[in-house]
Structure 1
């Protein structure tokens, strides 16, 4: 069997879905993307990539585009409410370890780069999936407009409130196969207000003058939120205001209306936080908000959950659809990208599209990715608590974390994360450029004999 004999429907044109499409283009796998919006929307602020995901972007021919559209991250600088330094996190060793810097860029640029290699006819817009069914022959996605799409495999890359996952779990629950954890609804963990400014005067905002990006993070003493300012190309600031939600206060069940990046309902939170001092020339957060186009400001609720079930039959989940990570540590995009790489590697070696072979692929995919995703969720949660929790004990933890963590311990953590940087097996491998060798690529799951069938 050859890769072109496989037919895949990707539901969702987000980071995971677009990355998977890029991988399929290189692999020669037939696919379409069903996207519910009328175009790919990239609302929000910014996204980060690091040495775990950039090697595969080099394989896809997109690395220079990402470098051009981004700035390398150097430090996270933390300030008190009166803009006095309280510590920093140094990322200067990331490039030395992996050969790639951590980078930051705005979401529209991120999406435009991923769209670069995807033929327009392979993304079908205005396709809201209502139901998913499957049998021994394949899987069918049925859309709100009455259209149906049949394929050998269906990938749910449609976000935290994935319609594919909801259909999959409904079927599993009817058979008594859904875990109690997966049966619980999402609860939100953070309020978040984000935006990207218009071009600013570098004389007024000197942080824009340098080629690298220092994140400026202000943690108030009493206000229940913290603000992050991130310089990006074009003399702009990407910014975010985040408030942790205590577990006892997190609502469940009715969070669906908060799941999209939309410009609605922003002014209340914007007015609530605008008094907060910013680290720029005695100004305030309100000054930054006023220099941000209103259509580039969004208020959302951010959820956190690891789903135990990632696949069943011919249907598999990817990215936020199977694990929702709060953005505190900037790991969500990297997770989705690497899951796309793994899934594509496994599908390329598929000897046939039998249910047995597909199950073997999906089991291996889960085995290789689930532990990494669960660890990333824990890391994001802890980093968010360090930045956002209030009180004497969190303040002490923050002081220890920012000022007294041994360099060797920080480096050990970075090595553990960046040592894992998989590539597409079927493309020429990008040589190691860092001081630490990447872990070996996972081996084949099908025998050479089976591959020849």
Structure 2
């Protein structure tokens, strides 16, 4: 019997973080990223909160990210007239004393690059590899891409807010008569 394998669709922060976790535990995986570059210039900034920083520290990525990021030491809020209505001058110190880390900001591509660089086996990352169709089989799942078929036991969608994986999951659920899993609050799909 082949080892358990996770197919991750999307080389996002979530997808690459999961990859690092799976690799740490010796679980086989493949990441399918549709872009040519694992760290494309997409998205704006990324707020690394203390609870996320703790996970990234456990994975061995935090110190590299700390060097690339800017800490948040204070926060101000403004009303609709532009008048300051809130100022937390010690937010950074409070977060660090409470959680061990400050909130930090960096570019999305920087965090994906650090997560990628932290992986020992980069052969499991497949760029220019867009997931087109997901099929459930008797032995697991198959993900058809623009050139290959990847087989595994489970598919994880880490492919963004307009997730094609979610759309495929909905298609499969409707075909199996489980459409209620995807109903909106108004009863539609």
Q: TM-score category by the smaller chain?
A: 0.7 to 0.9
**Structure 1 residue 81: deviation in Å?**
7.4
Tell me the equivalent position of 1:155.
156
- Quick check: 1:141–1:149 contact (8 Å CA) kept in 2? yes
Aligned to 2:74, the other structure's residue is in SS state strand
Tell me the equivalent position of 1:29.
27
Normalised to the residue count of structure 2, the TM-score between the two structures is 0.85
CA distance in structure 2 between the aligned counterparts of 1:79 and 1:121, rounded to whole angstroms: 48
- Quick check: 1:42–1:111 contact (8 Å CA) kept in 2? no
Structure-2 change in CA distance of 1:82 and 1:154 (3 Å): closer
Structure 1 residue 110 corresponds to structure 2 residue 108:
no
CA distance in structure 2 between the aligned counterparts of 1:9 and 1:82, rounded to whole angstroms: 49
CA distance in structure 2 between the aligned counterparts of 1:82 and 1:134, rounded to whole angstroms: 55
The residue correspondences of 1:41-56 to structure 2 (distance < 5 A) are: 41-56=40-55
**Structure 1 residue 75: deviation in Å?**
2.1
**Structure 1 residue 45: deviation in Å?**
2.0
CA distance in structure 2 between the aligned counterparts of 1:141 and 1:52, rounded to whole angstroms: 32
Structure-2 change in CA distance of 1:122 and 1:175 (3 Å): closer
- Quick check: 1:9–1:151 contact (8 Å CA) kept in 2? yes
Aligned to 2:156, the other structure's residue is in SS state strand
- Quick check: 1:7–1:152 contact (8 Å CA) kept in 2? yes
CA distance in structure 2 between the aligned counterparts of 1:60 and 1:168, rounded to whole angstroms: 30
CA distance in structure 2 between the aligned counterparts of 1:74 and 1:96, rounded to whole angstroms: 12
Tell me the equivalent position of 1:128.
130
CA distance in structure 2 between the aligned counterparts of 1:81 and 1:175, rounded to whole angstroms: 50
- Which stretches in structure 2 are left out of the alignment for 5+ residues? none
- Quick check: 1:10–1:34 contact (8 Å CA) kept in 2? yes
Deviations 1:265-285 (A, max 9, x none): xxxxxxxxxxxxxxxxxxxxx
Tell me the equivalent position of 1:99.
100
CA distance in structure 2 between the aligned counterparts of 1:67 and 1:60, rounded to whole angstroms: 14
Deviations 1:96-136 (A, max 9, x none): 21111111112222121111122332211111111101123
Structure-2 change in CA distance of 1:84 and 1:13 (3 Å): same
Deviations 1:247-271 (A, max 9, x none): xxxxxxxxxxxxxxxxxxxxxxxxx
The residue correspondences of 1:161-172 to structure 2 (distance < 5 A) are: 161-172=162-173
- Quick check: 2:60–2:118 contact (8 Å CA) kept in 1? no
Structure of larger gyration radius = 1
Kindly tell me the number of residue pairs found equivalent between the two proteins: 182
CA distance in structure 1 between the aligned counterparts of 2:81 and 2:154, rounded to whole angstroms: 55
CA distance in structure 1 between the aligned counterparts of 2:128 and 2:168, rounded to whole angstroms: 19
Normalised to the residue count of structure 1, the TM-score between the two structures is 0.37
- Quick check: 2:17–2:115 contact (8 Å CA) kept in 1? yes
Tell me the equivalent position of 1:181.
184
Tell me the equivalent position of 1:14.
12
CA distance in structure 2 between the aligned counterparts of 1:120 and 1:29, rounded to whole angstroms: 14
Dislocated runs of 4+, deviation >2 Å: 78-92, 182-185
Deviations 1:270-310 (A, max 9, x none): xxxxxxxxxxxxxxxxxxxxxxxxxxxxxxxxxxxxxxxxx
Aligned to 2:179, the other structure's residue is in SS state coil
Aligned to 1:116, the other structure's residue is in SS state helix
CA distance in structure 2 between the aligned counterparts of 1:84 and 1:151, rounded to whole angstroms: 55
CA distance in structure 1 between the aligned counterparts of 2:173 and 2:88, rounded to whole angstroms: 44
- Which stretches in structure 1 are left out of the alignment for 5+ residues? 186-453
- Quick check: 1:172–1:178 contact (8 Å CA) kept in 2? yes
Aligned to 1:28, the other structure's residue is in SS state coil
Aligned to 2:155, the other structure's residue is in SS state strand
**Structure 1 residue 58: deviation in Å?**
1.6
**Structure 1 residue 65: deviation in Å?**
0.9
Which of the numbers 121, 139, 142 marks the counterpart of 2:141?
Answer: 139
Q: RMSD in angstroms over aligned alpha carbons?
A: 2.4
- Quick check: 2:9–2:156 contact (8 Å CA) kept in 1? yes
CA distance in structure 1 between the aligned counterparts of 2:152 and 2:176, rounded to whole angstroms: 24
